[in-house]
Amino acid sequence: MRRLNVRKWRLLLPLAALAVASAAIAASSFGATSKVIRLAIMSDCKGAFAGGYELDLGGAQAALAQYAGGKPTNRAKPSDGMTGIKIGGHPVKIVGYGCGNDTVPLAISETKRLMEQLNADVMIGPLSGDEAVAIAHYAQKHPKKTFIIGTAGSQDPTLQIAPKNMFRYHGDGAQWNAGAGVIAYKRLHWRKAAIIMDDYSFGWTSAAGLISDFCGVGGKITKRVFPPLNTTDYAPYIRQLPGPNQVDGYFWVVGGTGTGPSLKAYEQAYGRVDPKKFVGNLFFFFQSGFADVAPRLIGAYYGGFGNAPGLKTRQARQYESTVKKWYGPAKFNVTDSFVYNYYNAAHALVIGLARSKGAVGAKLQAALPRKIRTGYQVSNHGVVKLDSNRQAITDQYPQQIVKGPDGKPAAKVVGFVPSVAQSFGGIFKKTSPPPGRKQPPCVKHKFPWQGHIRAVVNGKITNKIIG
Amino acid sequence: MKRPAFDWHVVVRRLPLGVALGATAFALVWVLFWAPKTNFGPAIHSPSAFLLTLLDSVTLAGLLFIVASGFSLIFGLMRVVNMAHGSFLLLGGYIAYEMQQWMTNGGGLTVFSSQVSAWEWIVPAIVAAAAIACLGLGVQQLFLRWTMGQDLRQALITIAISVIVADQIIAHFPLESTVEKGSAVNTSWPGSIDRLVNLHVAGVQYSLAKLSMLALGVGVGIALWLWLYRTKTGMIIRAGVDDRQMTSALGLNVQVTFAIAFAVGAALAALGGAVFASYAGVNPTTDGQWLLYSLVVVIVGGLGSIFGTVAGSLLFGLVYNFSVAYLPTTGNNCCGQYPIVFTFALLAFVLAFRPHGIFGRPA
Amino acid sequence: MKALAVDKSFVERAIGATALVLVALGPLIFRGYFAHTILTQTFWLGIAAASLIFLSAYGGMISLAQTALYGIAAFALGNLVGRGEVKGLHLGYSPWLSVVLAIAITTALGLVFGAVASRSTGIYFLMITLTYAVIVFYFVGQTPLLGGFSGVSGLQDYTPGIVGNPVAHPNRLYYIALVTAVGVYVAIRYVVRTPFGISLMGIRDDPVRMGSLGYNAALHRTLAFTFAAFIASLAGILFGWWNGVVAPDHVGLSATVDLLIVAVIGGLGRIEGAWLGAFTFVVINNYVRGFGFLNNHFFTSLGLDASHFATYIGVIFLLIVLVSPDGLIGLWDRLWSLARRQGGAARSAAAAAGATAPRG
């Protein structure tokens, strides 16, 4: 009988352990419900944009250090954390960093973890377009939480979905490409072009920016090709493009992990790429593109990323030195939009919390600034305005890949496009069809910035009009 | 008893084959003569487009063969479904990249093929294949040797390994500090072959690099055939494929043969990775894509058979390229999903009348 | 001496009953996040795993297509029920009709998949179902008509009345998921006792003999696969309501492998393993990410910091496959039989040696 009791005890032990463990886990995630403002910063630490992680955190935390008294734990590594953030006497705690991988499932589960398990009141982020679409839907259902987008370039979060608790202080993928199409027409003298784009919403949005501008001043797109996302072998899609003797150039809107393979497929069909015949988007230079693609395209133009590396204005220099002051030892490129956009988001949050006197929720959403001074803005006396969907109207800077002094590719700003709005001259409205395979059509159109795009030489905005 | 005039059983049994043959005939007619609303029109109107698509298919098949033959070899002999095959390919691609960068002082940036000599392509490929052969050997000795006969368990083990390897690749590659971890990378073909050659047929110019890739695939096929059918080790492998127990009962050292076969299979995956790094480039999603390609090729062609792998590679290459080129491209909701739908159709057709693949044998 | 009074199945039922009582009171005992994110996820993920384990335990077929099938159900639901600016077909059907149609579509597809794969067994079957999974992933990702790469959303806006708004009233979804999970468990236990289930097990063990007895093995496997697709579709509907969004990456290769990991951790041989594995996986997946202590230089240089939780899961999976291939439940079974054997040996030793104190 004694043995029997011992065995029963042995059997119940694992069960008890399981119950205790579950209770412990459940209890451990009890957050302290105090007056501390709880902030979460969402970024990607894996996947296609993993390189943006420290940059995003660094940008946001530099603003928190500068404007809210935050103290970096480790000036060489932003992800080590920050303490001492106080806005108007109210302490702010960074409860967690979200680690996405550019896919929707992880974005949602990280958002739930940050906003529900760790009870954050505000999120700065996410990094990528697809994540932002999913989080916009989440935001719609959680009106008491506030979301300030990090660097996502998808159009939906502030046009088609546009929840009242979501803010974006930078442009979307179409806005980023403003001016590049005009440069192709005026500087490269393209009249007929073909375009190849990823067959999904960011590809269409980014392409829309290039197409509208180019066709707006009189260019013609003779062929559109849409390889699906995650294509491994681009050869058959390249065959659908007209040959280099049939068009003046190609708009290349294949991004992410597809930029390199698609260009290689082109080279294996038509020979070495001529940089003067290729105009692309940010993927020509940023993240993987820097090592994989840019060396082959020295001299090519591309739509920017909303930033302006090398811009010589006082505001720009102030922004860059501020970030270097706090996170210089981290040695990342402070002109990168990953840093810049998260910096502006955090700066906006500080202003908003100061105005709302530490209140979150609807009060914070009312208090977040609709006008903010950002590093690379020049129009409107250097102030960025938000439109009625809480989406920024910003200046844009088309860029060119050049060979830097160290032999590596470098980005050079070549143009200045003032005050580009998400409506892109009126062609994108909530009720109009969103960017798609055939949308927008190739038509002549008068954009507000036509005739106002100025050349930028050596970081200075000149008075020379490009187009 | 009178025989019925019409035997339904025969019809039902032969139906899948009949459907498959009918579909193939229809496809040929479509591509050669009809093809309305497509990018090029039928072959009689634009023979150059047809020839280019055909060459694209065959050169892709060459690469598919290199990768899938490794998979098929490992399965045919050891009944191990190596789910880590894609990860081996990916790691091989990254190693080849690192090697070429080191040899050409690339500094982490893409090098132009004009700066790459043949040696600077061949050595990275060999190093990658050798490194992954060692890794494969290690995996086989540590985990697969003592789980012989437990097919499912071995498949699960290789799945676990693929998860770990894939995650660790993102953690460490590329090695250069100037490039973000987990970035896409590519190697360059040697300058001597990275150019177009005139084929003197229908005015077609084709990439010599891709033709070399096809030649490499053919070379690997011949080498495999010679190894399996003309050497003693190959003979033991074939005996082991046919009847493992009998082979070891005859006193032949099956364990050593298994180890060699797994190492060779892994090396082939890595070689495929090195080639693919030049053909398109590798990135952290490449492993999943190539696992799918290997699976389709060997399911269609049949496991454990070189001829099956050749057939599977050709069919897959043809279906992929022709479905993109010769299906209607007008309309808003076309095109992108064609290759994948037709891949499934290919799979379904073959499995419906040959459940073990075209040249496969029951386990 | 009397035989062991404690019966293993009695103990298991006791544990099961305790667990059931705990989760029935879940929303009251546990914190909201734990109940609605961890436990509800355990319920529907367990249902999906149960569809896999049903096929493996009773049909001898390891299918990697279950993730794709539950994904198809969620995608179908999203496309049917969505309206307005939601991506996809947004047909705007009524919620209950959409649910029924989504289940029907998935089950029908399961029939087709099963029919094509039914004559292949063992490892061939595994590979074919894996191919299905990846094909479905590419198909839903590359067809913008059905939502495309960013997927379909709005699933939480158009739910049947009884479900309500899963964000505002998560308890309703919690209990519906719980009831469905219990229902699936009972249904599977019932089906395997029917003549169909028994002949399925016979075909699992010896298809040749069953064939000579006149049983159509391919047909049985096809029907089993269809039933499993039906179960998976239930998981898909619950997943859709729980998550609100379904994107191609929810049915991709890593999601497919995750479900396999869930089933293997739990135990491929017994249905109970489905929910045990689901709970373990969800907990590890969720809490490792918060392990800040892993984010130091040492772990990062080894690629073992908190962002690489995939490596941790891979290692745990590998260990389980090496040590206990039939999962945690298999471990439990073996500990029992070990204890029983030890107890038996000690008993006979005690009987032989007199009044020696027994071990164990």
Say whether pLDDT at C185 is over 90: yes
| Mean pLDDT, range B104-114, rounded to an integer | 88
Q: Do A137 and C154 touch (CB under 8 A)?
A: yes
Q: Using CB atoms, pick whichever of B150, B151, B292 lies closest to residue C134.
A: B292
The more confidently predicted of residues B313 and B13 is: B313
Q: Do C116 and B352 touch (CB under 8 A)?
A: yes
Q: Cβ contacts (< 8 Å) between A407 and chain B: which residues?
A: 107
State the nearest Cα–Cα gap between B108 and chain A, in angstroms. Answer: 6
CB-defined contacts B:C, below 8 A: 124
Q: Point out the least confidently predicted range of A321-325, B60-64, C229-233, C355-359.
A: C355-359
The answer to whether residue B12 neighbours chain C at the CB level (below 8 Å) is no
pLDDT of residue B274: 97
Q: Point out the least confidently predicted range of B13-27, C63-77, C286-300, C317-331.
A: C286-300
- How far, in Å, CA of C88 to CA of C81, rounded? 10
Tokens of A94: 């960074």
Q: Using CB atoms, pick whichever of A51, A235, A292 lies closest to residue B56.
A: A235
Q: Using CB atoms, pick whichever of B163, B164, B295 lies closest to residue C130.
A: B295
Q: Do B179 and A291 touch (CB under 8 A)?
A: yes
> What pLDDT band is residue C85 in, cutting at 50, 70 and 90?
low
- Residue C355 DSSP code: S
Q: Do A257 and B184 touch (CB under 8 A)?
A: yes
Q: Do B110 and A296 touch (CB under 8 A)?
A: yes
Q: Do B156 and C252 touch (CB under 8 A)?
A: no
Q: Do B194 and A436 touch (CB under 8 A)?
A: no
Q: Say how many C-beta atoms besides its own lie within 10 A of residue A366's C-beta.
A: 12
pLDDT of residue B84: 94
Length of chain B: 363
Tokens of C136: 């479905």
The answer to whether residue C127 neighbours chain B at the CB level (below 8 Å) is yes
State the nearest Cα–Cα gap between C198 and chain B, in angstroms. Answer: 23
The answer to whether residue B172 neighbours chain C at the CB level (below 8 Å) is yes
- How far, in Å, CA of C43 to CA of C189, rounded? 17
Determine the residue among A4, A5, A7, A15 to mutate to test chain C binding: the one whose Cβ has the most chain C Cβ atoms within 10 Å.
Answer: A7
Say whether pLDDT at B363 is over 70: no
Tokens of A352: 């908003």
State the nearest Cα–Cα gap between A433 and chain B, in angstroms. Answer: 13
Q: Using CB atoms, pick whichever of B150, B163, B337 lies closest to residue C313.
A: B163
In 3-state terms chain A splits into helix, strand, coil percentages (rounded to 5) of 40, 20, 40
> Do the Cβ atoms of B110 and B281 come closer than 8 Å?
no
Residues 6+ apart with CB under 8 A from A34: none
Q: What is the mean pLDDT of chain C?
A: 85
Q: Cβ contacts (< 8 Å) between A129 and chain C: which residues?
A: 150
Enclosing H/E stretch for C283: helix C272-288
Fold of B47-353: ABC transporter involved in vitamin B12 uptake, BtuC (1.10.3470)
The more confidently predicted of residues C295 and A449 is: A449
Strands A301-302 and A371-373: unpaired
Q: Using CB atoms, pick whichever of A233, A270, A288 lies closest to residue B183.
A: A288
Q: Do A141 and C244 touch (CB under 8 A)?
A: yes
The answer to whether residue C119 neighbours chain B at the CB level (below 8 Å) is yes
Amino acid identity of residue C27, one-letter, is P
Residue A221: φ, ψ to 5°: -95, 115
- How far, in Å, CA of B234 to CA of A93, rounded? 66
Span C36-65, pLDDT tens digits: 888 999 999 999 999 999 999 999 899 999
Q: Cβ contacts (< 8 Å) between B350 and chain C: which residues?
A: none
> Do the Cβ atoms of A177 and A448 come closer than 8 Å?
no
Residues 6+ apart with CB under 8 A from A261: A231, A232, A233, A234, B186, B280, B281
Nearest residue of B to residue A197, measured between CA atoms: B336
Q: Cβ contacts (< 8 Å) between B344 and chain C: which residues?
A: 132, 135, 139
pLDDT of residue A1: 43
> What pLDDT band is residue B331 in, cutting at 50, 70 and 90?
low
Determine the residue among B58, B110, B188, B341 to mutate to test chain A binding: the one whose Cβ has the most chain A Cβ atoms within 10 Å.
Answer: B110
- How far, in Å, CA of B224 to CA of C146, rounded? 44
Residue whose tokens read 């600016």: C85
Percent of chain B past pLDDT 90, that is, above it, reads: 43
The answer to whether residue B81 neighbours chain C at the CB level (below 8 Å) is yes
pLDDT of residue B89: 97
3-state secondary structure A366-431: HHCCCEEECCCCCHHHHEEEECCCCEEEEEECCEEEEECCCCCEEEEECEEEEEECCCCCCCCCCC
Amino acid identity of residue B175, one-letter, is L
Q: Do B340 and C142 touch (CB under 8 A)?
A: yes
Q: Using CB atoms, pick whichever of C5, C18, C33 lies closest to residue A29.
A: C33
pLDDT of residue B337: 67
3-state secondary structure B109-178: CCCCHHHCCCHHHHHHHHHHHHHHHHHHHHHHHHHHCCCCCCHHHHHHHHHHHHHHHHHHHHHHCCCCCC
- How far, in Å, CA of C187 to CA of C343, rounded? 36
Alpha helices (H) along A29-163 = 53-68, 104-112, 129-141
Q: Using CB atoms, pick whichever of C15, C34, C289 lies closest to residue A26.
A: C34
> Do the Cβ atoms of B137 and B262 come closer than 8 Å?
yes
Determine the residue among C30, C250, C307, C341 to mutate to test chain A binding: the one whose Cβ has the most chain A Cβ atoms within 10 Å.
Answer: C307
- Residue A288 DSSP code: T
Span B34-51, pLDDT tens digits: 777 777 778 778 888 899
Amino acid identity of residue B38, one-letter, is T
Query: Three-state SS for C189?
Result: helix
State the nearest Cα–Cα gap between A265 and chain B, in angstroms. Answer: 7
Peptide bond into A295 cis (omega under 30): no
CA A119, distance to chain mean position in Å, is 25
CA torsion B208→B210→B215→B217, rounded to 10°? Answer: 170
- How far, in Å, CA of C232 to CA of C55, rounded? 12
pLDDT of residue C348: 67
Residue A96: φ, ψ to 5°: 180, 160
pLDDT of residue B156: 87
The domain limits of chain B are: 47-353
- How far, in Å, CA of A30 to CA of C32, rounded? 10
Q: Do C255 and A161 touch (CB under 8 A)?
A: no
Q: Using CB atoms, pick whichever of C126, C127, C303 lies closest to residue B172.
A: C303
Q: What is the pTM of this model?
A: 0.87
- Please give chain A's pLDDT, 467 residues, in tens: 444 444 555 445 555 555 555 555 544 444 444 489 999 999 998 877 877 889 999 999 999 999 999 999 999 989 889 999 999 889 999 999 998 888 888 999 899 999 998 999 999 989 998 899 999 999 999 999 999 999 999 998 999 889 999 999 999 999 999 999 999 999 999 999 999 999 888 899 999 999 999 999 999 999 999 898 878 899 999 999 999 999 999 999 998 889 999 999 999 999 999 999 999 999 999 877 888 899 999 999 999 898 999 999 999 999 999 999 999 998 888 999 999 999 999 999 999 999 999 999 999 999 999 999 999 999 999 999 999 999 999 999 999 999 999 888 999 999 999 999 999 888 888 888 888 888 899 999 899 998 999 999 999 999 999 98
Q: Point out the least confidently predicted range of A343-352, B187-196, C83-92, C185-194.
A: C83-92
> Do the Cβ atoms of A403 and A185 come closer than 8 Å?
no
Span B125-181, pLDDT tens digits: 999 999 999 999 999 999 988 887 787 788 889 999 998 998 889 888 888 877 877
The answer to whether residue B13 neighbours chain C at the CB level (below 8 Å) is no
> Do the Cβ atoms of C302 and C274 come closer than 8 Å?
no
- Residue C53 DSSP code: H
Nearest residue of C to residue A119, measured between CA atoms: C33
Q: Using CB atoms, pick whichever of A51, A269, A291 lies closest to residue B110.
A: A291
Q: Do B167 and C120 touch (CB under 8 A)?
A: no
Counting beta carbons within 10 angstroms of the beta carbon of residue A188, is it exposed (0 to 12), middle (13 to 18) or buried (19 or more)? middle
Nearest residue of B to residue A231, measured between CA atoms: B289
| Mean pLDDT, range B179-192, rounded to an integer | 88
- Residue C308 DSSP code: G
- How far, in Å, CA of C232 to CA of C75, rounded? 13
pLDDT of residue A78: 92
> Do the Cβ atoms of B281 and B254 come closer than 8 Å?
no
Q: Do A7 and C339 touch (CB under 8 A)?
A: yes
- How far, in Å, CA of A73 to CA of A80, rounded? 6
pLDDT of residue A290: 86
Span B205-224, pLDDT tens digits: 999 999 999 999 999 999 99
Nearest residue of A to residue C255, measured between CA atoms: A105
Determine the residue among A79, A263, A288 to mutate to test chain B binding: the one whose Cβ has the most chain B Cβ atoms within 10 Å.
Answer: A288
State the nearest Cα–Cα gap between B189 and chain C, in angstroms. Answer: 29
The more confidently predicted of residues C32 and C268 is: C268
Residue B163: φ, ψ to 5°: -65, -45
Say whether pLDDT at C294 is over 70: no
Residue whose tokens read 């050079």: A412
Span C318-336, pLDDT tens digits: 888 888 878 888 888 888 8
Instruction: Give the ipTM.
Output: 0.90
Percent of chain C past pLDDT 90, that is, above it, reads: 39
Could you tell me which of C77, C83, C128, C125 has the C-alpha nearest to residue C103? Answer: C77
Touching chains, C (3+ CB pairs < 8 A)? A, B
pLDDT of residue C228: 97
Nearest residue of C to residue A133, measured between CA atoms: C150
> What pLDDT band is residue C351 in, cutting at 50, 70 and 90?
low
- The DSSP code sequence of C206-253 is -HHHHHHTT--HHHHHHHHHHHHHHHHHHHHHHHHHHHS-B-GGGGSH
> What pLDDT band is residue B247 in, cutting at 50, 70 and 90?
confident
Query: Three-state SS for A247?
Result: coil
Q: Do C343 and A201 touch (CB under 8 A)?
A: no
Q: Cβ contacts (< 8 Å) between A134 and chain C: which residues?
A: 150-151, 153, 245, 247
Q: Cβ contacts (< 8 Å) between C144 and chain A: which residues?
A: 199-201, 436-437
Domains of chain A: 37-172+310-393 (3.40.50.2300), 175-309+396-465 (3.40.50.2300)
State the nearest Cα–Cα gap between A150 and chain B, in angstroms. Answer: 19
Q: Cβ contacts (< 8 Å) between B161 and chain C: which residues?
A: 314, 318
